[in-house]
Amino acid sequence: MSETDTPKPYIEIRDIGIAFGKGKSRVQVLEKVHLNIQEGEFVCLIGHSGCGKSTLLNLVAGLYPPSAGSCVVDGSLVKSPGPDRMMVFQNHSLLPWQTIRQNVALAADCARPELNKAEKAEEVEATLEMVGLSHAMDKRPSEVSGGMKQRAGIARALITKPKVLLMDEPFGALDALTRGKLQESLLEIWERNRITVMMVTHDVDEAILLSDRVVMMSNGPKANVAKILDVGLPRPRSRMEAVNHPLYYQYRNSLTRFLHDNKHHHGPKVERDPEEISLGFIPLSDCAPIIMARELGLFEKMGLKVTLSREPTWRAASKGLMEGRNHASMMLAPTPFLHNLENPGKPIQSSMVLSRNGNAITLRKNLQELGIHDRDTLATWIKQQPPNKKPVFGMVFPSSMHNLILQDWLRAGGIDPDHDVEIIVIPPPQMVANLELNNLVGCCVGEPWNSLAIQKGVGFVPEADDALWPSHPEKILTFTREWQKSNPDKASKLTAALMQACAYCANLENRDHIIQTLAQKNAVHLPEETFAFSMRDQFDNGDGHVKDLPGFHQFFEASSTYFHEDEQRWISEKLRQAGVTPVHENFSLIFDETTYREGCALSGYSPAEGPALSTPHFSNTRIGRLAEGVPA
């Protein structure tokens, strides 16, 4: 395409710079920022705090003039705020004494005086219907949820018919499920209107899901555009299709690598503190030992400086360990077996089991209307489906207990997981949203996502871990063998701190404190009631009855922290049966018993003794016959 054929940018940010303060206190926040955005394009700005993302958004909004350069929108120089550019803030800023309808109507009064009373009322109702608030338009902000307030803020911006929608972390303060719903709603609204959007976010997955391009900002001061990622995922776009697209994790890795490379410095690069240990975790109920070790100061008591790194997916957690972004990580018990086969030069090992159990199989709630209430009725329904319309099930990672348990549970009911259904990978925080959107028939996932599906009325649980594989190893503490050899003292002390945390988590008297801590924003960030049953060893299957489930979460019972050789062999064989690892590969242990015993000595606990705790319930499957010594 020649230069004359290139479409003229709708937004032209021309070498913009801005500084605040005077004299010695003057700080150059942005310097020579150049960015062109086409009409109807969705662009996300991402970068660390202090990189000027919001400042750049405010410059486009005209909230203050630049110190240098200029911004042009649709051919007009931006000199001040105007109705052609509307802002959606993280705080919805609704007037509390007015209804949702009145808040949106006020924006129409200010920006569209040409509308008569009837036209304005019609526009307000149509806009609220667009964002899914028709049922709540006459309620005040105090009477609706945080997500609904944000929808109202978006409606207030949209009714002005702006040329550009500017969004400054609009979903940042919301819980994972509400945020996911609003992301999907924003996608639908954008598809219908194709308005030009600039959005600031700290969420890599949100940026990929929504954007045509992701603009990566360098660290400030004197921040500018460092890189731009073109997102080539097809539109219209859904979360499930996006995360399963071959390019999704390539995009994700590019963004996380950029953020990691810029994490520890502003301006000249500063090396990471050599004493710091970065420990990865996934926001699940059984990350409790890691979160409580921080909460109780157990890392510091061992003389460690530990920073927790919240990982969005198991793939990201595994990559974080391999790339050195994290020194240690919470990991699915089966993952190192696959990793060590694929990466013999950089093996992963484990020094303790962090948790056992904690999983369930959840089916979509509306299946009950079809008479499906257990595995037998599910199997009958699946056999009736046309071959080209296989029911889709979700699990969190191929080398996970969730995948192995789900496959064996299906097989035990006469359902062939290789031919009768499709099993796909869905990150744990996205599982409930995919059930709600009817993208999944069912899933196998850890808590609190099964409980959340039940509380949201989108799922029910036919089987939990008490009927699947009681006391199976679930999450383990891992690090690379290379790091352990270079840091044996840190590995042992880290194990000891988490051993003490596991002991604390095992005491049911401490579970209220654990629930309160897990609910916080820097942990799992879901309402306390989401953890209320399972963390107290109870379970609501979605049938209206809550049953006692002793040991649903096991952290320190009997020999639970010890990874028995029998269990390792069992998992290795199950991975082969499920087709995750090659059939004829030699088995190798992943448990670092030396570090485990040193951790026990430092923590004051005796090393675990006794037989393996786990008792598989799949004797009628090939894997069960192999375990019992019966030829398959």
Helices (H), 365-447: 375-383, 401-412, 431-436
Q: Which domains does the chain have, with CATH numbers?
A: 11-84+162-261 (3.40.50.300), 276-357+474-627 (3.40.190.10), 359-467 (3.40.190.10)
pLDDT of residue 158: 81
**Contact (Cβ atoms closer than 8 angstroms) between residue 136 and residue 103:** no
Residue 603 · residue 432 · CB < 8 Å:
no
For residue 236, is the peptide bond before it cis, meaning its omega torsion is within 30 degrees of 0? Answer: yes
pLDDT over 70, % of the chain:
91
* Residues β-bridged to residue 155: none
List, for residues 377-411, the tens digit of each pLDDT value. Answer: 999 999 998 887 889 999 988 899 999 999 999 99
Residue 626 corresponds to which tokens in the numbers above?
């192999």
Calpha distance 118→149 (Å, rounded): 25
Give me the pLDDT at residue 19, please: 87
628 has a pLDDT exceeding 50: no
Task: Output the pLDDT for position 176.
Answer: 67
Looking at residue 87, its pLDDT comes to 83
Digit-coded pLDDT (tens) for 266-309 = 444 445 578 899 999 998 999 999 999 999 999 999 999 999 99
In angstroms, how far is CA 601 from the centroid of its own chain?
36
Per-residue pLDDT of 226-239, as tens digits, reads: 999 999 998 888 88
pLDDT value of position 591: 95
Antiparallel, parallel or unpaired: β 76-77 and 68-73 = antiparallel
Condensed to tens digits (0 to 9), the pLDDT of residues 473-532 reads 999 999 999 999 999 999 999 999 999 999 999 999 999 999 999 999 888 888 899 998
Residues 577-617 pLDDT 10s: 888 888 666 678 999 999 999 999 999 988 876 666 665 54
Percent of the chain with pLDDT over 90: 44
pLDDT, residue 14, reads 92
pLDDT reported for residue 270:
42
Q: Residue 6: its pLDDT value, please?
A: 58
Q: If DSSP codes are grouped into helix, strand and coil, which group holds residue 29?
A: strand
* pLDDT reported for residue 289: 97
pLDDT at 93 over 90: no
pLDDT of the residue at 585? 64
Residue showing tokens 């869905």: 426
At 158-187, the pLDDT tens digits run 888 888 989 888 877 666 666 777 788 888
Residue 507 has what pLDDT? 93
335-344 per-position pLDDT tens digit = 999 889 888 8
Per-residue pLDDT, 626: 31
pLDDT category at 620 given cuts 50, 70, 90 is: very low
CA end-to-end span of the chain, whole Å? 62
Angle at 212 between CA 209 and CA 214, to 5 degrees: 80
pLDDT of res. 268:
42
Average model confidence (pLDDT) for the chain? 86
* Mean pLDDT on 425-438: 83
Say yes or no to pLDDT of 358 above 90: yes
Beta pairing class for 392-395 and 442-446: parallel
